[in-house]
Amino acid sequence: KLERAASPSQRVDKLGLERGASIDLPTDIPELKFRGYGSACFALSFSPDGSRLAGGYFDGCLRIFDVDTKSQIHTLSLEHPHEVGVRQYDNDEVEIANQRGRNTLAESDVAITNVCWVPNSRPSILASVDTAGTIGLWDLTKGRAPHVLSKVPGNAELNALAFSQGGGRMLVGGQECFLKLYDLGAAGSLRQVQTLGQWSGLGRIAGHTLKVLSLRIDPVCPDVFVSGGLDKQALLWDLRVGGNPAAVLQGTEISGDALDISRDGTTLLVGSHRKDNPLQLFDLRMLSPRLGEVTACCSYQWSGEVSESERQVQGPSCLLFAAAWDAFANTLIAAAGEKEGMGQIFRRPPPGSKQALKVVARVHGNGGAVYSAAVSEDARVAAFGGADGSLRLCDLRDA
């Protein structure tokens, strides 16, 4: 049954930074049970300074949390851009939703699939993409009321979103299988400059053949980026040599936002939705335009152990939806998924080491899947988003 969420006065504020602490369900999400995705949190992103956390939800809303004051501060919707407060639903609305068999109280069926703060941006800008194919840019500068800077409608679902380190370029991708490159203006305007990944002729890598789910731009060179899709491949692009993929990595099984690139642009983190080798690291310098499986420089099991090809996987596993690491040192990896319904934080061994990943924190998803994961740039805190809309935070300062 779809139940009304408790009022703020009835809730215990759990937005803390104790390792494994949880953020209770946002106050404007009714508790949805046995209703598909319910109010799942599909995407998470920390602001560049780590003080705020943005979540993208199945009900089509962006929710902004202030990490320092331990509170939810905004609920944002492109359908109602001037309603920026935390909304409370009444019993009548919940009862109508129950009678109609809906799994959300939202007026449309649009879900936010990805969110990302623009790096080094003044004003402070947050971007989102959704299942309707809409790109939204919000000005979330502290001390001002949130407002929409740009709203770009689309024709098909978008799932992936990334910005260059300087914030001047934005990439999106999704159901149409190709990528769109935009220039971001100083006032938050968007101008599409290129479409990538469309058919280019026989004998060449044209692009993805199934939905694009994850994108990352090289922090060192904004002309280089990686895309991952449901077609079991990750593609390396380099605009300096043309608009077609420069290299291909086959054998990945990405089912969410599960790619990340190291700060020096040499190492790719991949989280796969499978039991064996769910976490892998690849040397981007070793990728080739020739089709064929590239060997990972490191493969790890969910336990953190180094994978050995001749040995069967033992112990618990997690089918990953999300994987990310801290942007500064790339020493901490956050990963989450289903089956175990769990998120974990791993500490990487020194480069070149064959040692196992060390599990330094673990959170559970209230019996459901954990769809999203994020680490603040300074590696101070990590966050996980669950199928019920609740969030978990891990304090990583002593990890």
Peptide bond into 123 cis (omega under 30): yes
Please give the angle made by the CA atoms of 110, 116 and 117, to the nearest 5 degrees: 130
Mean pLDDT value of segment 306-330: 79
Say yes or no to pLDDT of 114 above 80.
yes
Say yes or no to pLDDT of 238 above 90.
yes
When pLDDT is cut at 50, 70 and 90, the band that residue 394 belongs to is confident
Mean pLDDT value of segment 219-226: 95
Tokens of 215: 């994108």
- Enumerate residues 6+ apart whose C-beta is below 8 A from 13: 24, 70, 71
Share of the chain above pLDDT 70, in %: 79
Say yes or no to pLDDT of 16 above 90.
no
pTM: 0.87
Residue 312 contacts residue 258 (beta carbons within 8 Å):
no
Q: Report pLDDT for 295.
A: 85
- The rounded distance, in Å, linking the Cα atoms of 261 and 2 is 40
- The rounded distance, in Å, linking the Cα atoms of 28 and 55 is 13
Mean pLDDT value of segment 137-150: 93
Residue 278's nearest CA partner among 318, 309, 235, 331 is 318
Helices and strands in the chain: count of H runs, count of E runs: 1, 28
Q: Which of 83-97, 168-182, 325-339, 367-381 has the lowest mean pLDDT?
A: 83-97
Q: Report pLDDT for 265.
A: 94
